[in-house]
């Protein structure tokens, strides 16, 4: 999640995103439209001198990018320093080397690069490539958060909630969380929504809370989908809507979330918001059990299932998420 955001912030062109999704792709030339090529060459030849390294980077020529960026990095060009750090942090065309990445992030951060400050903060938080130092991580997050970098605001908020390395301060956490949420960071939308619902650091506001949790759900954050479904089911902070609740439980269940699988099973077993369907209810129960999650209430609801339906459910679960192979119809 954080990683995705970071990538989007670094460079916005589709070519870049494609390259990073598969850095080992044999053909580094993006499969995009002609527009991509135009924009890339415009960046390389049209504008500032920093774009040659980025151009190579975007097209997957990481070693070329490194070579082009190095002299500029030594000459204190923060963008080039960050580019090199990214190459080492992700092991793009070189062995992953977090110590080296830290070195370049540090100098880029000092030169005012927010992405670098944030990434170095994460390395210090986890002790990757540098000795673990959450206090230093907090300083770096602060540096990036002060410039409005959403992922840094989010992590700084978490450190204020945790209150071990920064002073415990729920209202500051809520302020930062809102700032990150309003920049469309899904985790922040979910956490800020939860803070609004609970009245943590902000006056309780069920409607705003539900709205933020919904935004995170719409971005595909599974925990938010499950919570949003529950809010819709209960009609808390949002108009009650069983069909929509089922839809969100289903999305989360299909992503493998065991809680959502059980809740979807229960709704199917009673026909609330969806068709009554004991076989699929039992399938979801079987899938949740596989993950070690069982629910006595669902077991009770499924007590009356026929042996044949139960067997069919087990068969569905065995092949899930694919369909079981269909027997050839004899009459065909």
Contacts to another protein by CB under 8 A: 70, 73-74, 97, 99-100, 102-104, 106-107, 110, 130-131
Q: Considering beta carbons, is residue 144 or 269 the nearer one to another protein?
A: 144
- As a whole number of angstroms, the distance between CA 283 and CA 287 comes to 6
- As a whole number of angstroms, the distance between CA 259 and CA 241 comes to 19
Q: Least CB distance from residue 92 to another protein, whole Å?
A: 16
The DSSP secondary-structure symbol of 327 reads P
Q: Give me 68's structure tokens.
A: 């082009």
CB-based burial of residue 209 (10 Å sphere; 0-12 exposed, 13-18 middle, 19+ buried)?
buried
- As a whole number of angstroms, the distance between CA 164 and CA 135 comes to 9
Q: Least CB distance from residue 76 to another protein, whole Å?
A: 9
Q: Least CB distance from residue 103 to another protein, whole Å?
A: 5
Q: Least CB distance from residue 183 to another protein, whole Å?
A: 29
CA distances for 202 relative to 63, 146, 165, 187, 198, angstroms? 49, 21, 22, 18, 9
Q: Give me 276's structure tokens.
A: 């009554």
- As a whole number of angstroms, the distance between CA 233 and CA 253 comes to 16
Q: Considering beta carbons, is residue 100 or 218 the nearer one to another protein?
A: 100
Q: Considering beta carbons, is residue 103 or 265 the nearer one to another protein?
A: 103
Q: Considering beta carbons, is residue 130 or 246 the nearer one to another protein?
A: 130
Q: Least CB distance from residue 209 to another protein, whole Å?
A: 41
The set of residues, in sequence order, having a beta carbon less than 8 Å from that of 295 and lying 6+ positions away, is 262, 265, 266, 285, 288
Q: Considering beta carbons, is residue 131 or 203 the nearer one to another protein?
A: 131
Q: Least CB distance from residue 315 to another protein, whole Å?
A: 55
Q: Least CB distance from residue 64 to another protein, whole Å?
A: 16
Q: Considering beta carbons, is residue 88 or 228 the nearer one to another protein?
A: 88
Place of tokens 């995170």: 216
Q: Are 283 and 317 in contact (CB under 8 A)?
A: yes
CA distances for 197 relative to 201, 218, 260, 292, angstroms? 11, 18, 20, 29
Q: Exposure string (b/e) for 118-145, b if CB count within 10 Å is 16 or more? A: bbbbbbbbeeebbeebbebbbbbbbbbb
Q: Considering beta carbons, is residue 46 or 127 the nearer one to another protein?
A: 127
């Amino acid at each position: 999640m954080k990683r995705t955001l970071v990538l989007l912030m670094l460079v916005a062109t589709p070519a870049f995103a494609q390259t990073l999704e598969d850095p080992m792709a044999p053909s580094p030339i993006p499969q995009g439209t002609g527009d991509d090529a135009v924009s890339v060459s415009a960046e390389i030849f049209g504008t500032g001198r920093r774009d040659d390294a980025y151009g190579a980077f975007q097209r997957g020529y990481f070693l070329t990018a490194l070579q082009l960026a190095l002299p500029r990095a030594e000459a204190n060009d923060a963008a080039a320093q960050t580019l090199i750090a990214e190459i080492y942090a992700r092991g793009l065309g070189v062995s992953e080397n977090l110590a080296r990445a830290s070195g370049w992030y540090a100098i880029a951060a000092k030169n005012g690069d927010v992405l670098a400050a944030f990434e170095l903060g994460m390395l210090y938080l986890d002790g990757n490539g540098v000795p673990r130092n959450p206090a230093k991580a907090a300083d770096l997050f602060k540096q990036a958060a002060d410039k409005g970098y959403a992922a840094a605001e989010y992590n700084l908020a978490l450190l204020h909630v945790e209150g071990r390395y920064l002073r415990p301060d729920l209202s500051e956490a809520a302020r930062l969380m809102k700032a990150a949420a309003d920049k469309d960071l899904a985790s922040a939308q979910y956490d800020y929504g939860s803070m609004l619902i609970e009245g943590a650091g902000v006056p309780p506001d069920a409607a705003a809370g539900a709205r933020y949790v919904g935004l995170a759900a719409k971005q595909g954050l599974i925990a938010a989908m499950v919570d949003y479904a529950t809010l819709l089911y209960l009609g808390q902070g949002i108009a009650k809507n069983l069909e929509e609740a089922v839809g969100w439980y289903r999305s989360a269940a299909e992503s493998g979330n065991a809680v959502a699988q059980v809740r979807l099973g229960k709704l199917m077993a009673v026909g609330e918001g969806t068709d009554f369907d004991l076989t699929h209810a039992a399938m979801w129960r079987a899938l949740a059990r596989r993950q070690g999650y069982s629910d006595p209430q669902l077991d009770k609801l499924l007590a009356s299932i026929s042996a044949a339906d139960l067997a069919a459910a087990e068969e569905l679960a065995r092949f899930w998420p694919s369909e079981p192979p269909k027997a050839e119809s004899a009459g065909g």
